[in-house]
């Protein structure tokens, strides 16, 4: 389940990646699409469910579904738009070689996101108390 980053965000971009690394920047982009029509709500309130399905022909279907409005959007990615066997092998080797550094970077980013969320909630509560 994904959500929005700002209050009243009307859409989200779904970025489809192929790879083994924990950070998006270290993987290969294979598609993007937008889910529009998200109902106005405070950030982190909407629930966007993203599902991946690979059929017998290697075609990837990615669907984003806003659980509140029922709106859906999807993208179909043909097998030929992916990586070669050599590229996949190289990416797996890179993922193994960088596993510890990737873990530390992900932990650092998670801490920043937690701090940002805490600041946002504190500012929101201070504003609400100040209005009383």
Question: Distance between CA atoms of 115 and 40, rounded to whole angstroms?
Answer: 24
Listed by start position, the domains of the chain span 1-82, 98-132
Average confidence (pLDDT) per 10 residues, the chain, 132 residues: 94 94 91 96 95 92 96 89 80 92 94 93 88 69
Share of the chain residues as helix, strand and coil, in percent rounded to the nearest 5: 40, 30, 35
Strand arrangement of the beta sheet that strand 60-66 belongs to: 48-54, 60-66, 72-77
pLDDT tens-digit series, residues 24-42: 999 989 999 999 999 999 9
Specify the pTM: 0.76
Which CATH number is 1-82's, of 2.60.34.10, 3.40.50.300, 1.10.3720.10, 3.30.110.60?
2.60.34.10
């Amino acid at each position: 389940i994904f959500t929005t980053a700002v209050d009243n965000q009307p859409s989200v971009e779904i970025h489809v990646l192929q790879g083994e690394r924990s950070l998006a920047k270290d993987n290969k982009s294979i598609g993007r699409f937008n889910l529009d029509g998200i109902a106005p709500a405070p950030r982190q309130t909407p629930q966007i469910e993203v599902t991946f399905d690979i059929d017998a022909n290697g075609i990837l279907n990615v669907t984003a579904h806003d659980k509140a409005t029922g709106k859906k959007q999807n993208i179909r990615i043909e097998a030929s738009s992916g990586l070669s066997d050599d590229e996949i092998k190289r990416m797996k080797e890179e993922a193994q070689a960088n596993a510890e550094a990737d873990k530390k970077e992900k932990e650092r980013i998670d801490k920043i996101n937690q701090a940002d969320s805490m600041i946002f909630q504190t500012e929101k509560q201070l504003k609400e108390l100040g209005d009383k």
